[in-house]
């Protein structure tokens, strides 16, 4: 059995969110990341705008949907590569590579001019957005949850756009008004689009959810040609049926 899939999966907890993705594309939102591995003096957590996907076979999907939700999409890797998605680099703790990356961050702060320092820091932050410790904490409802991140084989879309903030410190992220305002900018300027051909799976929680998503596709996505709608309808599958066959 292949350890990876030819498809990247994105899951969410609500049917309404899935419908919004189908209609408008993926919405990059600010997510709080544990960056204590960087050993940076001014922050333990920083929020970056992103859309996350996992590269795991369907046989391992149960644990993933149990944590993230049972509604989602499976997207082709061709689409991912065309849209600058990238697999994360996972770092084991206290090894040579971790030390070298931390050292590189310190060197970035020693450039000769303020402009060089700014550019170097921006580059390092963008690299951080694609690195995670192999094990660590993620905040769920404000509480840290231990997780083996490398099991998720995560791919990530991290937008670069002059109209959005590249990052937010935790105090800004915790301010609901500020967070909503910044997420509204990512929606406006950096939504991640796709066509029906880019979709390999449309996941719903149970068989009883299938008629609703069929109706949504037929009524809300009718701007697509009839042939494309038939493709979308053929991609619908329930997590319930997948788990029954595993």
173-208 pLDDT, tens digit each? 999 999 999 999 999 999 999 999 999 999 999 999
Q: Would you say 67 and 12 are in contact if contact means Cβ atoms under 8 Å apart?
A: no
pLDDT at position 198 is 97
Q: Would you say 55 and 155 are in contact if contact means Cβ atoms under 8 Å apart?
A: yes
The residue whose two tokens read 């879309």 is 157
pLDDT at position 104 is 82
E strand map for 98-196: 131-133, 136-140, 143-147, 154-157, 168-169
In sequence order, what are the beta bridge partners of 147? Answer: 136
What percent of the chain has a predicted confidence (pLDDT) above 70?
A: 96
Closest to 133 (Cα-Cα) out of 93, 161, 96? 93
Closest to 125 (Cα-Cα) out of 43, 5, 23, 20? 43
Decide if pLDDT at 3 tops 60.
no
Instruction: Give 2's pLDDT tier (boundaries 50, 70, 90).
Output: low
Domain boundaries, the chain: 7-245
The residue whose two tokens read 């990530």 is 156
Higher-scoring residue by pLDDT: 106, 82: 82
Higher-scoring residue by pLDDT: 30, 98: 30
pLDDT tens digit sequence for 32-87: 988 887 776 667 889 999 999 999 998 888 888 988 999 999 999 999 999 999 99
The count of other CB atoms within 10 Å of the CB of residue 200 is 18
pLDDT at position 38 is 78
d(CA 54, CA 1): 17
pTM of the model: 0.90
In sequence order, what are the beta bridge partners of 87? Answer: 155
């Amino acid at each position: 059995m292949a350890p990876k899939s030819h498809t990247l999966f994105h899951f969410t907890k609500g049917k309404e969110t899935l419908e919004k993705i189908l209609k408008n594309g993926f919405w990059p939102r600010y997510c709080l990341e544990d960056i204590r591995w960087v050993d940076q003096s001014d922050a333990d957590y920083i929020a970056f705008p992103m859309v996350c996907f996992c590269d795991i076979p369907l046989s391992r999907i149960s644990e993933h949907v149990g944590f993230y939700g049972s509604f989602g999409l499976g997207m082709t890797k061709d689409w991912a590569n065309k849209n600058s998605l990238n697999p994360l680099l996972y770092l084991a703790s206290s090894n040579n590579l971790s030390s070298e990356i931390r050292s590189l961050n310190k060197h970035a702060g020693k450039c000769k001019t303020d402009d060089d320092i700014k550019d170097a820091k921006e580059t390092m932050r963008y690299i951080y957005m694609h690195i995670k410790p192999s094990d660590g904490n993620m905040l769920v409802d404000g509480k840290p949850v231990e997780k083996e991140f490398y099991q998720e084989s995560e791919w990530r879309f991290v937008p670069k756009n002059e109209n959005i903030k590249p990052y937010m410190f935790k105090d800004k992220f915790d301010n609901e008004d500020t967070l909503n305002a910044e997420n509204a900018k990512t929606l406006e300027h950096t939504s991640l689009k796709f066509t029906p051909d880019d979709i390999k799976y449309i996941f719903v929680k149970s068989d009883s959810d299938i008629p609703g998503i069929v109706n949504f596709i037929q009524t809300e996505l009718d701007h697509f040609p009839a042939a494309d709608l038939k493709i979308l309808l053929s991609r619908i599958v329930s997590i319930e049926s997948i788990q029954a066959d595993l």
